[in-house]
Amino acid sequence: MNVYLLQIINGFGIGMIYFLLAVGLTIIFGLLRFVNFAHGAFYVIAAYCCYTVIQLGANFWTALVIAPVVVGCIAWAIERLLLRHMYDLPHEFHILFTLGLAWVIQELVILYWGPVGVNVSTPQILSGVVMWGAFIYPKYRLFMIAFSAALALILWLLLERTRLGSIIRAGSEQPEMVTLLRINVYRVFGLAFALGAATAALAGVLAAPLRGVEPFMGNEALVIAFVVVVVGGMGSFTGALLAGILVGIVQSVMSTLWPQGANLMIYVAMALVLLVRPNGLLGRAQ
């Protein structure tokens, strides 16, 4: 099988992980107008939750359900107790507070699990490769692509075709008007914040068998998530999907052509996109 075609497929799978990371930021910023620098911390908590669940004797599939629920509940509590009082403040306050929160969570992770990384095994049923003629590819990566694509469809239907999604979108534009309809818009915003954190948690669980788990993985994840959001366009769900795939493919292909500059090319791709479309691929002018 052609090595570049294989890298494109790898990039597609990595890109779907990036999409799950970025779509949470898109939901939180695009709909709530809140800059969340603690987003990578939710990714880390989920990865360690996956590791702990497996260590306690459960399997990967149990962790795939438990981790997003746990992280979603933590995010909901943080939003309700702390962040809810900051929505009307300038974005600088959002950045400073959530950046501090991310560091606190990182230190708590180090205190509990230690500074050394740990490994998470691939589920037994997804071990090995799929062989179809000249096509040979790891089962787990195929599962990751299919699972992430299904999640993308579910999230799109939730935000675009349900009453909850309509309320979230309306509340982000005119919260006073939604309140006049006797809808508790802040309760809905809390659910939206928890949903955004839960998508980052799913990315953390899916990434754990591929890259292992360590306390500082959230920093890299946060940077990638912001790159994807900027490339796709602030607040654009479809833009986050396209940008995640684009960034993943660029990184994967460049790891073969120029391994030392693979990460650098992510930012080059971002700069090129912004030169052509300053608001991102599908972003709207503010």
Contact 183, 166 (CB under 8 A): no
Relative orientation angle of helices 3-25 and 39-55, to the nearest 10 degrees: 110
The pTM of this model reads: 0.90
Q: What is the dihedral of CA 154, 155, 160, 166, to 10 degrees?
A: 120
Instruction: Give the pLDDT score at 62.
Output: 96
Residue type for 78, please? I
Per-residue confidence (pLDDT) for residue 19, from 0 to 100: 93
What phi and psi, each to the nearest 5 degrees, are found at residue 130?
-100, 130
Is 118 strand, coil or helix? strand
DSSP H or E run through 172: helix 163-173
Directed axis angle between helix 185-211 and helix 60-81, to 10°?
140
* The pLDDT value given to residue 172: 57
The residue behind tokens 């000249």 is 134
Q: Tens-of-pLDDT digits for all 286 residues of the chain?
A: 577 788 888 899 899 999 999 988 887 776 677 788 999 999 999 999 999 999 999 999 999 999 999 999 999 999 988 888 887 788 888 889 999 999 999 999 999 999 999 999 999 899 888 887 777 889 999 999 999 999 999 988 888 888 877 776 666 556 666 666 677 777 888 888 899 999 999 999 999 999 999 999 999 899 999 899 889 987 778 888 999 999 999 999 888 888 888 888 889 888 998 898 888 888 765 5
Contact 281, 273 (CB under 8 A): yes
Q: What is the chain's length?
A: 286
**Cα(first)–Cα(last) distance of the chain, in Å?**
45
From CA 180, how far away is CA 147, in angstroms rounded? 39
Q: How many other C-beta atoms lie within 10 A of the C-beta of residue 184?
A: 12
Q: Which amino acid appears at position 80 of this protein?
A: R
